[in-house]
Chain A
Amino acid sequence: MLRTFSFLFVLTLALVGRSDAARAADAPSAADIVAAADRVRNPDTPFRLSLTLVEYQRGRPHESVGLAVHSKLDPTTFQYRNLVRYSAPARDAGKLVLLSGGSMWFYDPASKASIRISAQQRLIGQASNGDVLTVNLAHDYKPRLVGGESIQDADRQPRDTWHLDLKAATPEAAYSRLETWIEKGTMRPVKSKFYSDSGRALKIAYYRRYEPALGAVRPLETIIIDAVDPHLLTKVSASDYRPENLPDAWFQREFLPRFSEQ
């Protein structure tokens, strides 16, 4: 048995080494990899999807949040503008978060109040997990290719990936730094790690359950580990992807009370 493992170990090392050596010369640029991964995660036409976020504490489901995300790429800034509406739990039903470049607003239909929030404030609570899927890494971050790396995906399967280190390039970037691992060939995101300004790891995200949605194969499930309290996990399940006509006028503060009527 030991010999078998040793053989596999040597073989794997050899394959990885040869593979990296062979590909080093024609490795795509960091920007190309990130842009390709963005295309895997995000449709380039306006769309909506439903998200169910289930929070796990020590492996037990604890709380769930329902969100509807309405998203549209801004052709001038290449950033996604998102309208996120809570459908559950009942105490939060109808609340809205508008994420439009640097303009981020929280709207509570009970108070009719639209409160502008900072990039950091949007990260508090479950809503911050709702827009993980539509972060435009290519625009908001400056990527650096660390190199090729074999990692485990969420299902403990080995994946041959590009490892990239990204630094925030715009004030709107929610995280000052993140690392991401993109599968070679398919350019599917496997894993990302998000850091605070102080360099502390905040979240680790694994992308899985790749299935066809809106013309491409996309990750329908993201598992987000709280890096501060690793017993805390959030599973984000996406469904009901569909194209949607989203007028530009919707992505502003004054539309939020109207959106609650839609």
Chain B
Amino acid sequence: MRVGAGAIAVLLALAPALAKAGDDSDLIPRGVLDAKPEAELATAAPAGPRSSPALYGKVFAEEALSVWSPARRMPVPEPPSLLLRWQNRASLDAGMHWKLEPWLTLTLSDRLNVFEQDGQKLVTANTVRNDLREASASWQPTDNYYLEAGRINVRNGAALGFNPTDFFKTRSLVGQASLDPSVIRQNRLGTLMLRAQALWAWGSTSIAYAPKLANPSQVSEKNPVGVDPRFDATNAAHRVLCTLSLELLDLSPQLLGYFELHRSKLGVNVTRPIGNAVVVYAEWAAGPEQNLIARAADFGTRTGTLPPSASRLPETDLRVSLRSDLTSGLSWTLATAVTLNVEYHFHEAGFTRNDWKNWFALGSASGAPGAPASPAGALWFVRGYASDQQEPLSKHQVFIRASWPRALGPDLELDAFAFVSLLDGSVLSQLAANYYVSGAWTASAYFSWNFGNAHTERGSFAQRGNTTVALTRYF
């Protein structure tokens, strides 16, 4: 038998026309053919379904050390409380589903963090912080109908850098190793709500009601809230969201109606492939509201952060008018290796060039002889408010992101992004490297940098850069 097979092999080699396609099989080592799947799994990284059908999910521990570049003296000085030289975070993260019955599923998603940072004692009220992202029960009374209650992370939108139709994103941010919006979304707080959804072959519809449970908490850059579930951030107003998603014209349109006192909006998002390498997408939302500065002033005074008068902020138009948010962009996969996203963000309520001019003029004037006390804290509050709301600060910006999952080998993933202000050309950029040491361990490094002169959006930060290294162990 062996001789016969050898003879045929020689024949094939001697007659290339006869066996011209057979040579490729010589690339397969014998050991690969003979290996049993179980033996392969034992040799390779941990793999295979490990969870029981009733309880499954993901659990990991992460250790992250962040170091910031030295603070510079700036025309509008940042409040010292916002400046850190280093911070260490150790986290235990769990996202679990428990299917109690075919019609009942419980969901829990939580992260427990221990922080150490410069200027803070080893053990304080802020050392331990728990982020209860989700805790909900989902009931399926009949096929394709769902009712759920609890803290739920409802996310909508098709874009990566800014999602105008992601209405529950506001005030959901928690501490992150990365500034990448697609990473930030992986660790945000859900909202306590009741939600009903129906699915059909042609689409789905849903309605969610999030009640007001508390008055809004202050914007806090450092999240000094310990184990508080922060319902005063996620449930500080009565809110309703209705969605209608359709499988139509290859656009997968989603129509949304969002209702909140003084801030109701309508939105739509669509996506469509162009050829086999490009996907285009757009999101639009609009509704009557004040601009960013006016809303920040109102929120700051309501929560006691700012004095009753907002005169220490840049002068602005306080009127409520119809304002739009728009993201349009595309993803383009190059050479079956790198995916490039390019997006334009329009935020009508954001800063104009004139607003920035006023912001710097007001902040810089405090240094002059006889000038009033520095309003820098109030000026930086506007920026903190925009970050807390997860909305862009400027009216026009571009977002560019490149993702290279198998860079320089199968275990290294490189991602880079940049937010570019179209008002002043300043840039926030980040390069991230994830090295998959094994199926259980991932080592990560993030390098971010602000480019621009001191009188630009990104260049006005006292600290230009940040480096974070992280090690993650999956269980």
A interface residues with partner B (beta carbon < 8 Å): 4-5, 8-9, 12-13, 16, 50, 52, 54-57, 59-66, 68, 87-91, 93-94, 102-104, 108-113, 115-121, 123-125, 149-158, 163, 168, 171-174, 176, 179, 181, 191, 193, 196-197, 202, 204, 206, 208, 223, 225, 230, 232-233, 235, 237, 239, 247-249, 252-255, 258, 260-262
Contacts and interface: CB of A to CB of B under 8 A. Distances in A.
Given A124-B337, A156-B5, A89 B47 contact: yes
Contacts of B25: 151-156, 191, 206
B235 interface: no
Given A191-B21, A254-B203, A235 B35 contact: yes
A197 B276 CA distance: 10
Given A121-B277, A124-B339, A254-B204, 9 more contacts: A8-B8, A12-B8, A61-B35, A61-B44, A64-B40, A91-B439, A163-B21, A223-B33, A252-B204
Contacts of A191: 21, 24-25
A91 B339 contact: no
B199 to A, nearest CB: 4
B114 interface: no
Contacts, number: 281
Which one of B11, B138, B281, B406 has the greatest number of beta carbons of chain A within 10 Å?
Answer: B11
A5 B138 CA distance: 70
B204 A152 contact: no
Which one of A16, A123, A173 has the greatest number of beta carbons of chain B within 10 Å?
Answer: A123
B21 A181 contact: yes
B201 interface: yes
B144 interface: yes
A150 B13 CA distance: 12
Name the prevailing secondary structure of the B interface residues: mixed
A171 B276 contact: yes
A202 B44 contact: no
Which one of B18, B47, B204 has the greatest number of beta carbons of chain A within 10 Å?
Answer: B47
Contact of B48 (A88, A109, A151, A254): A88
B371 interface: no
A150 B157 CA distance: 52
B466 interface: no
Interface in B145-179: 146, 153-155, 157-158, 160
A260 B185 CA distance: 17
A110 B58 contact: yes
Contact of A9 (B15, B153, B197, B333): B15
B336 A116 contact: no
Interface in B28-69: 28-29, 31-33, 35, 37, 40-41, 43-51, 56-58, 60
A249 B144 contact: yes
A187 to B, nearest CB: 18
Contacts of B28: 154, 206, 223, 225, 233
Nearest to B153: A112
Nearest to A12: B11
Contacts of B19: 150-152, 158
Contacts of A206: 24-25, 28
Contact of B410 (A55, A156, A174): A55
Interface stretch (B244-252, B291-299, B320-328, B452-460): B244-252
